[in-house]
Chains A and B, each alone.
Chain A
Amino acid sequence: MSALFELVDFGVQIGTRRGTAHIVNGVDWRVQAGETLAIVGESGSGKSMSVLAATGLVPSPPARFSGQALFRERDLLTMEDRERRRVRGRHIGFVFQEPMTSLNPLLTIGRQMTEAPRQHLDMPSGEARDKAADLLNLVGIPEAAQRLDAYPHQLSGGMRQRVMIAMALMCDPEVLIADEPTTALDVTTQAQILDLVTRLQSQFGMAVVWITHDLGVVADFADQVAVMYAGRIVELAPTSALYRTPGHPYTRGLLDARPRLGETEAELATIPGVPPDPRRLPPGCSFWPRCPYREDPRCETEVPPLREVAPGHLVRSFYSITQRAPRDQEA
């Protein structure tokens, strides 16, 4: 079955004065209608860049792209600019981390919400306003119709993020891309937003691509998780498999580094060192310099392949750590 939205061997390079930065390297994933794919990684892992570049939100030049970004089997990268903008506006909705910087402070909420459907669907403005009010209502904003005339500064952070979500849904997108949408929010608001998106997804059957640095946020909510490190996917698995049997040393490191409720005695696990400079990636596994498990001599010189260790569970490694207890291995 062909995927709704799919990256194939996707890469992003940016030329700098001190060499070419390999920001995203050979990324493959696919997402179907009604599914949620979480893309998890730390700063600089390429998680946001891979998705934003694939949807045409990263200017080229300076960036160069390779591979394919297929929406309904059509490559967004080779499309005419105009066409790509149409597909994006019409079929892909975006929610970003900072609602204050993604909303225009000078325009009312209603004006901003109705812009896309008027442009992409030729929706009459009265109808667009009604739809905007309906969606604001749906995302839990009280007195939705009056709020259309409000300006962003008149709303709280949680409200603004709801407005962003409602706005992303204006053209009934098939894919919703959420880039750290709850990172700037309080935990109770975050719980509200997660609950809201889950509800909307089951109602509209969208595919959701959820980009986050926090493995905890997506545990309950994603179908699949892709963990990125230094621009590559190091592990891609059904969510429960990823948490129960993490196969990559980096995934395991991330899971162990988080404090767990009720466990306050032991030191937290850490991952020593820092990620590599994307202009000078190591020749082999990018995680090799920091890896507590490394043992295969090939790790240093060859990029490990993504191996399927269980159905749908891919790990970029020459060997399996799944059965090994990490603490015995850490010197």
Chain B
Amino acid sequence: MTGVPGSGAPLLEAIDLQVHFPVGGGSLGRGRAFVRAVDGVSFTIERGQTLGLVGESGSGKSTIGLSLLGLVRPTGGRVRLDGEDVDFGRSSLQRLRARTTMVFQDPNASLNPRRSVAASVREPLEIHGLHRGSAARRARVEELLDLVGLSGRFAERYPHELSGGQRQRVGIARALACEPELIILDEPVSSLDVSVQSQIMNLLRRLQGELGLTYLFIAHDLAAVEYMSHRVLVMYLGRIVETATRESLYRSPRHPYTKALLSAIPSAEPGETSAARLLLEGDIPSPISPPSGCRFRTRCPWAIAACAETDPHLEAAGSDGEVACIRADEIAAGAPAALAGTSGA
């Protein structure tokens, strides 16, 4: 792995990242509306660690993953990889994509059905001109398949001949081909069967240890995020609402939305669900016209009038976390009443 060992700088830094998409709207571009999919998000990912990114559909979590690779162009803010600004120009992108790769949710859709496993895994080597010569490339492909637990006999097979788990292993082998430092894992296990999910998560953790990889793990399954991540970042409607170490986020969530997410996890055993389950009402609002003030206030059982006026900023909370909620301290000190909207389960 390249990089400056022991430099202490984060591998990746996103500063006030914005991704706004224009939608429909007025003639000649007047009165155009924007979906603010990612709206001023800052975070860092430390080398060799996993940052978990959770949120519901529409929270902007996948858009962040895509924008870090320039697959959608950020409309504002900065991305720094290893201390260097990424300008998303052609040559900068090429360098970026050798060091940062992605594993997608649906290995069915992300592998070319007409290419053999070997051809799919070889493609990034060809694009980046690595391991030149057919013998060297063949050896590298074999090594990569071995790394993800696929024997050489899979090399000449096609995606339709593989199970979901095997396909996802091919997706991971592809992502590893250029010896990246950072891998963006966008819901890498959510389309797989439970017993296969555990195989893939074990594999990802093992690879991280062996190769010193850094991960951005995007998922909506909170148990999987806890298992995989060192730090966790919770998003709601394009904004970060809370970030903390895994331990403190899961043990003492501070933002009402984080609390609701954690309490919505189905219990692993009957009768384990806490008596006071925090059940959210309604749906995530439209990102075209998010609520004023705190974006979560329309579903928050603790919302008060001030929440509609103040756009809460991330503020330090606990030893190593940040939370964007003007009532966080009050709630942490013992939930105030006014739990309208909470229902027992």
Contact = CB atoms under 8 A, between A and B. Distances in A.
Contacts of B284: 156
B14 to A, nearest CB: 24
Nearest to B193: A42
A216 B279 CA distance: 17
Given A42-B193, A192-B279, A259 B227 contact: yes
A262 interface: yes
Interface in A227-257: 239-240, 243-244, 253-255, 257
Contacts of B221: 187
A264 B165 CA distance: 22
B315 interface: no
Given A243-B270, A264-B226, A269 B198 contact: yes
Contacts of B260: 188
Nearest to B166: A274
Given A216-B266, A220-B267, A270-B202, A191 B195 contact: no
A268 B227 contact: yes
Given A216-B267, A261-B265, A159 B202 contact: no
B280 A217 contact: no
A261 B226 contact: yes
A219 interface: yes
Contacts of B264: 187-188, 190-191
Nearest to B195: A271
A239 B197 CA distance: 23
A289 interface: no
Nearest to B262: A261
B165 to A, nearest CB: 8
A239 B266 CA distance: 14
Given A159-B283, A191-B279, A220 B198 contact: no
A195 B345 contact: yes
A262 B265 CA distance: 13
Given A188-B260, A258-B223, A213 B194 contact: yes
Given A254-B194, A258-B194, A189 B283 contact: yes
A192 B270 contact: no
Contacts of A192: 279-281
Nearest to A272: B199
Nearest to A219: B270
Given A195-B279, A220-B266, A260-B223, A188 B261 contact: yes
Interface in B208-267: 220-224, 226-227, 246, 250, 260-261, 263-267
A281 interface: no
B257 to A, nearest CB: 9
Contact of B222 (A140, A157, A187): A187
Given A259-B224, A260-B223, A261-B250, A220 B199 contact: no
B196 to A, nearest CB: 8
A289 to B, nearest CB: 14
A219 B223 CA distance: 16
Nearest to B221: A187
Given A187-B56, A269-B198, A243 B283 contact: no
A162 B160 CA distance: 35
A214 interface: yes
Output the residue of B195, B199, B260, B282 with the most chain A CB within 10 A. Answer: B195
A186 interface: yes
A263 B199 CA distance: 16
B113 to A, nearest CB: 19
A186 B220 contact: yes
B310 interface: no
A239 B283 contact: no
A194 B280 CA distance: 13
Contacts of B163: 274
Output the residue of A217, A218, A271 with the most chain B CB within 10 A. Answer: A271
Given A214-B266, A254-B194, A186 B271 contact: no
Output the residue of B221, B266, B272, B345 with the most chain A CB within 10 A. Answer: B266
Given A42-B193, A191-B279, A240 B198 contact: no
B75 interface: no
B273 to A, nearest CB: 5
Interface string A168-182: 000000000000000
Contact of B202 (A43, A215, A219, A268): A268
A270 B199 CA distance: 6
Interface in B56-84: 56-57
23 contacts: A42-B193, A42-B195, A42-B196, A159-B283, A186-B220, A187-B264, A188-B264, A188-B279, A188-B280, A191-B266, A195-B343, A216-B223, A218-B266, A240-B270, A240-B271, A243-B268, A244-B269, A255-B268, A257-B195, A259-B201, A261-B222, A268-B201, A270-B199
Given A219-B267, A253-B195, A258-B223, 11 more contacts: A42-B194, A186-B220, A187-B265, A194-B266, A216-B265, A216-B267, A217-B266, A240-B271, A243-B268, A268-B198, A268-B202
Interface of B: 56-57, 163-165, 193-199, 201-202, 205, 220-224, 226-227, 246, 250, 260-261, 263-273, 277, 279-284, 343, 345
